[in-house]
Amino acid sequence: MEISVLQHLASGNVWSSLWPELSLGCLALALLVLEIVLPKKSHDVISQVAILGQMIILGFVLFCCHSSDATTEIFNGLITLTKTSHIMRVFFLLASIFVSLIARVSLAKQTMPKVEFYHIVMVVSAAMMLLVESSHLIMAFVALETVTIGLYVLVSYSRESALTLEAGLKYLVMGALSSSLLLFGIVLLYGVSGNPLLVGHTLSGMHYQDLGNFLNLNPHNFLASVGIILVIAGVAFKMGAFPFQIWVPDVYQGAPTPTTAFLAVASKAAGFGLLLSLFHTVLLSYSWLVIPVLSFMAGATILFGNFAALTQTNVKRLIGLSGVSHAGFLLLGVVASATIPMALGAVYFYLFSYLLASFLVFCVMAHVAPAEDANQELSHYVGLARDNPFLGAILAIGLGSLAGIPPLAGFMGKFFVFLAAYQAKMYSLLFVAIIGVIVSIYYYFGWIKAAFFESSEQDAGAARPARTEVCWCNRLIFTLVALVTLGLGFYQGALGQWLNW
């Protein structure tokens, strides 16, 4: 009898369905083998193998996405594969490739080990895929902790920098706090859902769907409400949403530039992927509680991120606080998705536009930054457009898209989210969001002003680092991403159809 049960459980372990995650893991291990096998003078080729391998995996995932609209539950309910999970696989693969490209520029200025950085990035990216594919709270927690532990290492990767080690310590402490809140919330939800005195109690309270059904039958349970708030708090840390954003400026400044890019884009997207999964399967049963909490969080996040960024001169702190404001805009779409179906597609479109714009900005940062890149100031960009027109143009397109200036992809991302909020009659939050956009234009254009309209003579006292030359391959990739960012501002049809608008 026990053997038949085990055989039944084993039959649900469809490993072939997780081939993108397994491929990334195998590629990460292959990099370590290459580091051992190849002579030290040939180690530069390993980063090229990492990027090319990820591009090949991305190509196969894109091909599979066109023919994979069905929902598949595997590993006995731990993981559910949907069209959304395939979309997020593409997102995380793109983010991993972009971070690897940034790392090739940034790590070349450093003396620290390089191969291990690409290895950890790919392992964390695979864990992020599993996180958004999870349909079980234990699976989600394990995947989230895998992501968090990998990010601990990446944040404190520059062991010789005091600011980097300080950032790693702060991220460790705040990450431990958020994990504790999340785990306590999970325990409360599991405990209350198994209470035999309540209607619809279930022993499988860790499964999203079963937990959602239980909460639907017990819509005003106090312990369940506390558990939901704690779970939201734990996820909000990953998103950098108010009031759990306090770690963002210090960690973004101290972390190496590629890690900052990874935190700004992939970690944020992983948090929103998890929130959306929970929101539509578990939390909507408590909409009376969840909607006001997320609405307040969205408005406060937008205001805090934008107004705090106004006084920043360090570009890594500035981009971190601006990322906080973007988390607020995305939360706007999440709340609207409760009643407006197109809001879900708007959130994913916003994430992709944010990914492209952030990549352009961080690539310029990697080329401009000195070896010790924590203290990278706006003054370092004075005269950039004159000295290197290509990097100046790329920076302008990236910042313009982040600011939401037409006709760039970022403008359309904000427009779709705002449209969803308007259709959901969230007028007060929409007003707050518009104020946030107006404020953000000031500090984004302050950065552009330094690059385009300030001369070296005006800021002669500022010590500017030597800027890395852009190789032809990077020029080609940057140009392509900039053109896609511009093209999505004019035409969103193909991406919109893929996102099921």
Which DSSP string corresponds to 199-252?
Answer: TT--S-TTBHHHHHHHHHHSTT-HHHHHHHHHHHHHHHHHHT-TTS-TTHHHHH
Residue 373: CB atoms within 10 Å: 28
Which portions of the chain are predicted below pLDDT 50?
1, 67, 460-461, 501
Tell the residue number behind the tokens 């904000």, with chain if given: 414
Taking the mean position of all CA atoms in its chain, how far away is CA 23? 21
Q: Rounded to whole angstroms, how far apart are CA atoms 120 and 148? A: 11
| pLDDT score recorded for residue 370 | 78
Residues 6+ apart with CB under 8 A from 72: 14, 17, 80, 81, 82
Nearest CA-CA partner of 155 in 129, 185, 178, 175? 175
Nearest CA-CA partner of 322 in 352, 361, 370? 361
**Is 5 inside any structural domain?**
no
Q: Rounded to whole angstroms, how far apart are CA atoms 108 and 210? A: 50
The tokens for 250 are 């210090």
Longest dimension (CA), the chain: 83
Contact indicator for 181, 250 with CB cutoff of 8 Å: no
Q: Rounded to whole angstroms, how far apart are CA atoms 325 and 441? A: 12
The full DSSP string for 285-335 is: GGHHHHHHHHHHHHHHHHHHHHHHHTT--BHHHHHHHHHHHHHHHHHHHHH
Tell the residue number behind the tokens 């017990």, with chain if given: 218
Q: How many domains are contained in the chain? A: 1
Nearest CA-CA partner of 335 in 361, 299, 372? 299
Looking at residue 136, the DSSP 8-state letter turns out to be: B
Helix axes 409-423, 427-452, angle to 10 degrees: 170
Q: Rounded to whole angstroms, how far apart are CA atoms 304 and 245? A: 9
Q: Which domain holds residue 292?
A: 27-498
Angle at 471 between CA 53 and CA 156, to 5 degrees: 60
**Is 10 inside any structural domain?**
no
The full DSSP string for 150-165 is: HHHHHHT--TT-HHHH
Residue 109: HSE in the Cβ half-sphere, 13 Å Cα cutoff: 21
The tokens for 480 are 């392509």
| pLDDT tens-digit readout, 358-413 | 999 999 988 888 777 778 888 888 888 888 888 889 999 999 999 888 888 889 88
| pLDDT score recorded for residue 332 | 92
Residue 56: CB atoms within 10 Å: 12
**Is 128 inside any structural domain?**
yes
Q: Model's pTM, two decimal places? A: 0.92
Contact indicator for 224, 215 with CB cutoff of 8 Å: yes
Identity (one letter) of the amino acid at 311?
T
Beta-bridge mates of residue 80: 73
Beta-bridge mates of residue 207: 136
Q: Rounded to whole angstroms, how far apart are CA atoms 119 and 123? A: 6
Q: Rounded to whole angstroms, how far apart are CA atoms 276 and 83? A: 14
Which run of H or of E encompasses 74?
strand 72-74
First to last CA, the chain: 48
Contact indicator for 116, 50 with CB cutoff of 8 Å: no
Looking at residue 264, the DSSP 8-state letter turns out to be: I
Contact indicator for 270, 129 with CB cutoff of 8 Å: no
Phi/psi at 158 (nearest 5 deg)? -85, 85
| pLDDT score recorded for residue 465 | 59
Nearest CA-CA partner of 260 in 330, 320, 328? 320
Nearest CA-CA partner of 318 in 238, 376, 390? 376
| pLDDT tens-digit readout, 67-122 | 456 677 788 778 888 888 888 899 999 999 999 999 888 888 877 788 889 999 99
**Is 305 inside any structural domain?**
yes
